[in-house]
Amino acid sequence: MPASVAWIRYFSPFVSARLSVWKSMGKARLHELFAKLGVSLDQCRQKWDFVSPSTRSRVVEQLEMYSTEFGLENLQYKSFQRCVGFTKRASAADVVHSVAALLEAGDAGAFWGAYDALLGKDGDTLQRGVELGMRLQRATMAKAVSLIEKRSITSLKHFRYAYLGRSSSAASNSDDVFGQPLALTRLAHFLVEIHRQNSKWVGAKSKPLVLLAERAGDFLVVGVTCPGVAGEGKNYFGGSFKSAAEHSGARVSQSFFEGSVMEVERDDVHRFLESLHFTMDLK
Q: Break the chain into its structural domains and give their ranges.
A: 1-77, 78-138, 152-281
**Which DSSP state fits 11?**
I
pLDDT in tens, 152-161: 999 999 899 9
Query: Considering only CA atoms, which of 76, 88, 113, 82 is closest in space to residue 98?
Result: 113
Say how far apart CA 112 and CA 90 lie, in whole Å: 19
82: part of which helix (H) or strand (E)? Answer: strand 81-84
Query: Considering only CA atoms, which of 245, 234, 236, 238 is closest in space to residue 278?
Result: 245
Q: Is the pLDDT of residue 209 over 90?
A: yes
152-281 maps to CATH 3.30.43: no
Q: Is the pLDDT of residue 203 over 80?
A: yes
Whole-structure pTM value: 0.82
Q: Identify the bridge partners of residue 116 per DSSP, sorted by sequence position.
A: none
pLDDT in tens, 39-58: 887 877 777 777 778 887 88
What is the rounded average pLDDT of the residues 21-36? 88
Half-sphere exposure at residue 123, Cβ-oriented, CA atoms within 13 angstroms:
10
Confidence of residue 8 (pLDDT cuts 50, 70, 90): very low
DSSP-derived pairing of the beta strands 209-214 and 160-164: parallel
**Who wins on pLDDT, 65 or 231?**
65
Indicate the angle between helix axes 110-119 and 92-104, nearest 10 degrees: 170
Helix (H, G, I), strand (E, B), or coil: what is residue 101?
helix
Helix (H, G, I), strand (E, B), or coil: what is residue 69?
coil
Burial of 68: CB neighbours in 10 Å, binned 0-12, 13-18, 19+? exposed
Q: Is the pLDDT of residue 3 over 80?
A: no
pLDDT in tens, 170-197: 444 344 789 888 899 999 999 999 999 8
